[in-house]
Amino acid sequence: MGDDQSISLLLGLLFFLLILSALTSCSEAALLSVNRYRLKHKALKGNKAAILTEKLLEKPDRLIGLILLINNAVNVSSASIVTLITLRIGGEGALVIGSIILTLVLLIFAEITPKTFAVKYPSKIALPASLIYYPLLKIFSPVVLFVSFIVNLVLKLFGFDSNDLKGQALNSAELKAAVTESGEYVPDDHQQMLLTILDLENIDVDDVMVPRQEIIGLDLNEPWEDSIKVLKSTKYSRLPLYRDDIDQIIGVVRVRDVLSDIMNPEFSESQLLRKIQTPFYIPEGTPLSKQLINFKEHNHRFAFVVDEYGDIQGIVTIEDVIREIIGDINKIDKATDLELHKLSD
């Protein structure tokens, strides 16, 4: 009777250890496969479990060390209990059978099944697990630190750095793949916008600029009356000012700044020149991603694209860059869609 109770107790303890091993394996897979960007989003919103998970993943070598210490302790204990049970039931001859059964049980129910489940639902498991692992890491930190130190020494002997485990940033190609695979979670038009933004570094201002031959501006060497007519009739918000040749740029006038003035018969060229903006030049071949930053840093919306000799090749505006990202909202015909945008813009 006493042996039966003892075996029942050992079986109960073994069952508990198997569950603990399964939970440990499950949480390990979940923590290492959790989406870092969703995790950061939750952490920024103040989710305590997400914050703790982020802290744990900042030093993955220590987290892995803690989990493996627990898992190995559990598995060794399980093996010891199985040995005791098999010796009492079948003697030494049953040890091999007991070891095989334990190996299969651990493999199926404490490794493959829980880890497969964890990879499918990482956030649901990783966040609650962090509430347990974080204090455990504090408690067992001396042991974990010692083990991590030994592991790091071994890794360095083979030319590896444990800090490389922290690299979770996606490169441009991986980000594009993530956006493309977002499927039902992101509308098609939003996907296209995101992909275009990621591709801005591969698109030059030359690809979106208004070419030199299509630039509309004011030649101040022409009769003043002609300039006034252009200012009154133009549908564009900005016009370049030059003398004789577009390469002789004087500045840029924002039409709305002179709308009231051009109705005054006494409005003169000198008054117009007092209201012009300094021209902003950029080299041809500038990536759109860089040009978007240039516009922001220099507080400009309008730039002249020049070649290596300083000759103007075209005009590009911040609206051209935005149009490249989101498409032509007004679906204006390409032939009339110059930078010099409508006054209503």
Which domains does the chain possess? Answer: 2-166 (no CATH), 170-201 (no CATH), 203-336 (3.10.580.10)
Q: What is the pLDDT of residue 335?
A: 40
Rounded distance between C-alpha atoms, residue 310 and residue 22, angstroms? 70
Chain centroid, CA 341 distance in Å: 33
Element (H, E) at 75: helix 60-90
> Is residue 272 within 8 Å of 249, Cβ to Cβ?
no
Q: What global pTM score does this model have?
A: 0.54
What average pLDDT values come out for the chain (345 residues) when binned by 10 residues? 73 93 94 86 91 91 90 92 85 81 91 92 93 94 86 80 57 69 72 79 88 91 90 87 91 89 88 90 91 88 91 91 74 46 48
Contacts with 309 (C-beta within 8 Å, 6 or more apart), sequence order: none
Q: What is the pLDDT of residue 234?
A: 85
Q: What is the pLDDT of residue 182?
A: 67
Q: What is the pLDDT of residue 330?
A: 55
Q: What is the pLDDT of residue 108?
A: 93
Q: What is the pLDDT of residue 85?
A: 87
Task: For the chain, report the end-to-end CA distance as a whole number of angstroms.
Answer: 92
